[in-house]
Amino acid sequence: MLDALGVDVETEEHVFGGAAIDAHGTALTDETLAACQAADAVLLAAVGGPRWDTTDPHAPRPEQGLLDLRKGLGLFANLRPVRPLPALYDASPLRRERIEGTDLLVVRELTGGIYFGEKTRTDTEASDLCHYTVAEVERIARVAFDAARTRRGAVASVDKANVLETSRQWRQVVHRVHRDDFSDVELQDVLVDNAAMQLVSRPSDFDVIVTENLFGDILSDEAAMLTGSLGMLPSASLGAPDDPGLFEPVHGSAPDIAGTGAANPLAMLLSTALMLHHGLGLPQEAAALESAVDRALEAGLRTRDLGGSATTAEATRGVLDHLTRSTA
């Protein structure tokens, strides 16, 4: 795909997640982390699966490798664009009139919150600490406001400030950043349970959603279904401007269809487009790849999860054919 775009890049492959656990006993080796830190961008495939699920707190898990990689690369902002395509409106579980015109961006804080807080467990109790600093909230708020300025100029900050002290701090900091530096952007506060309802009742009202780690994980997967399938949703995880970004599909590994050719490759192709744009500084090539995906779908391409029969290879070839025509 990159060759068809005329993009000349040097690539390395490394095992990660479950494959790394099988080979090395850990989801992320020091060698892989060092290679990612030295790269310009990291394109990541799905990493988990029931084979490595365990309740043993000392056993390695694929997801821990992902958390450690995000930490190791300083990736604090996860961007998940959600734009149902007209060609796929009927594939969504929601009625066409509910999703028409939806074009939103979920900005999720990635390195704080309950996933990274202190954890305890005994035979009779367990706890997970949700911890945020003012600086962590401030920097993710700036990412969201900056993104809104390039879109429709509206940010919905999602929290649970009626119950949680971390959310009260979140709201206070977001409002201060807005007042001091982004007063031209519209800001509204939305409680997370209300946000979950609004995402399925009137998703087109949202422009940019910014929220903390756990809420963002849940809401972005919910928003993914607006497109008709998790197999359609890409993501970008970014840190400092000079650090490598991480680009990956939102979906999991789906081991039940591994090797059958039934997997939808479009989220990976769209994640590659995000990599071209945000990781390699090639916005025109990114737009060309996104356009090729759109046109392939408009021409009738459907994988099994979208109600069709196209295999992984056929879907990839369909996008490649449209890309080749546009660059010929």
Distance CA 150, CA 283 (A): 14
Catalytic residue among 40, 53, 193, 243: 193
State the catalytic residue, choosing from 146, 189, 221, 321: 221
327 pLDDT above the threshold of 70: no
d(CA 140, CA 185): 15
Assess whether 146 carries a catalytic annotation. Answer: no
Q: Specify whether 119 is catalytic.
A: no
Domain ranges of the chain: 93-227
Active-site residue, 90 included:
no
Q: What is the rounded CA–CA span in Å between residue 196 and residue 198? A: 6
Confidence at residue 316, expressed as pLDDT on a 0 to 100 scale: 95
Q: For residue 316, give Cα distances in angstroms to 98, 160, 247, 267, 282.
A: 30, 41, 18, 11, 21
- Angle among Cα 95, 97, 98 to the nearest 5 degrees reads 70
For tokens 């898990």, name the residue. Answer: 61
* C-alpha 299, offset from chain centre: 26
CATH 3.90.950.10 is the classification of domain 93-227: no
Q: Active-site residue among 159, 160, 294, 305?
A: 160
Non-local (6+) Cβ contacts of 247 within 8 A are 41, 42, 43, 44, 234, 235, 236, 237, 271, 272, 274, 275, 278, 279
**From CA 192, how far away is CA 206, in angstroms rounded?**
14
pLDDT tens by residue, 123-166: 999 999 999 999 999 999 999 999 999 999 999 999 999 999 99
Q: How confident is the model at residue 29 (pLDDT cuts 50, 70, 90)?
A: very high
Query: What is the reported pLDDT for 110?
Result: 93
Judge whether residue 296 has pLDDT over 70.
yes
The per-residue pLDDT for 328 is 55
Is 248 in a helix, a strand, or coil? strand
Q: What is the pTM of this model?
A: 0.86
Determine whether 89 is an active site residue.
no
The single residue of 103, 146, 217, 321 carrying the catalytic annotation is: 217
Selected catalytic residue, list 89, 115, 132, 207: 115
160 is catalytic: yes
Residues 105 and 79: beta-carbon distance below 8 Å: yes
If pLDDT is split at 50, 70 and 90, which confidence band does 224 have? confident
For residue 63, what pLDDT band results from cuts at 50, 70 and 90?
Answer: confident
Confidence of residue 306 (pLDDT cuts 50, 70, 90): confident
Instruction: Check residue 259 and give its pLDDT.
Output: 77
pLDDT bin (cut points 50, 70, 90) of residue 263 is confident
Q: How many CB atoms lie within 10 A of CB 149?
A: 14
DSSP state of 319: H
Cα(321)–Cα(4) distance, integer angstroms: 10
